[in-house]
Amino acid sequence: MLSCVVLLWTLLILPAASAEVSDPLPDPDGKPADLSKPVQVFILLGQSNMLGFGRVGPADKQGTLEYMIKEKGKYQHLVDDQGKWTERKDVRYVHVMDKRGVDFRDMEQFADMKNQWLTVTGNFGPELGFGHVMGHFYDEPILVLKACIGNRSLGWDLLPPNSQRYEFEGKTYAGYKDNPGSWTEGAPKQKVNWYAGRQYDADTSHAKAVLENLDKYYPGARGYEVAGFVFWQGHKDQNAAHAKRYEQNLVRFIKTLRKDFNAPDAKFVLATIAFGGNKLSGHGLTVAKAQLAVSGETGKYPEFKCNVKTIDARPFWRDKEGSPSGADYHYNHNAETYMEVGDALGRGMVELLTQVED
């Protein structure tokens, strides 16, 4: 039976880490991290919900962050005694993304969407909850590095290198670098200005560029370690061909990322899609089951034991009646959903960081 043991004395393997993560989290102390130690980097990837559509205000609108803080008493660590947003001086938040209008083959140009200490400045994704957990857990400097853009599928845009073509219902579907996404053998290919895996190439290239110019993004930093990856994606794969292939693509995605960033021991946490909560069905449910299948504790992939964990996000779904909008594909812009997913991903990462195989 596959199992992991949580170290009670976390200091044995993580000299500067806190042994526990409080719930709820305490207010950040406002102190900078110890910059004599390498920055612990967590790379966040996905599509639009990783990008972030959690609504901040107004305070009288159900499901916004301000409403959850003022009316429900949640997430008090995000505001100080004067009601202003707190700022973590030990967690740097960077978001890089494709520039609009740039040739799709150009991997070098990208936009710095965020380059700041972790705080609330507008719509947010799981990085907010995740970053606060990491900042509480570590004494080392933390870089939450998000490299993503919306409307991207694992079966096409984020397809990792070495993915092969496959047949499904009379069509051939693209392998890595193929164009278009699918075609019928013997018929002319209708090529597009894109290729399978283009977004994987772009996002990883942009993240590497940040790490190569670390002082711009974490002033005063002295080296770094890629400690983990965080993934929240799946909406665009809710079609028959991509959903069926999702698990296989996800396994390859995890392995390839570790290789690309020379981080074989980096932990990997992901959250399932959760549209409709427990009512999720059809191809969406197929995707969610694939995401759950790769979690290390299932034993299906022994190499993922104690280093990959999936968070089932369906319990964090909130209906539109208690949310700022009815955009279900963006979780109704519900701030609680984004905060709870981020917090769960952070605690899942801590669990992996404090586990050893028995």
Domain boundaries, the chain: 4-158+204-357, 162-196
* Exposed e or buried b per residue across 86-95, where buried means at least 16 C-beta atoms within 10 angstroms of its C-beta: bebbbbbbbb
Across the range 225-240, mean pLDDT stands at 99
Q: How far apart are the first and last CA of the chain?
A: 10
Q: Average the pLDDT over each of 28-37, 97-106, 159-168, 248-257 and give the range with the smallest value.
A: 97-106
Q: pTM of this prediction?
A: 0.95
Distance of CA 103 to the CA centre of its chain: 26
Across the range 17-31, mean pLDDT stands at 82
Q: Average the pLDDT over each of 3-7, 101-105, 180-184, 300-304 and give the range with the smallest value.
A: 3-7
- Yes or no: domain 4-158+204-357 corresponds to CATH 3.30.450.40: no
pLDDT band at 10 (very low <50, low <70, confident <90, very high): very low
pLDDT band at 9 (very low <50, low <70, confident <90, very high): very low
pLDDT in tens, 175-227: 999 999 999 999 999 999 999 999 999 999 999 999 999 999 999 999 999 99
Q: How much is the pLDDT for 11? A: 38
pLDDT in tens, 36-91: 999 999 999 999 999 999 999 999 999 999 999 999 999 999 999 999 999 999 99
User: Which residues, including other chains, have CB under 8 Å from residue 329's CB and lie 6 or more apart?
Assistant: 48, 235, 275
pLDDT in tens, 128-153: 999 999 999 999 999 999 999 999 99
User: Residue 17 pLDDT more than 90?
Assistant: no
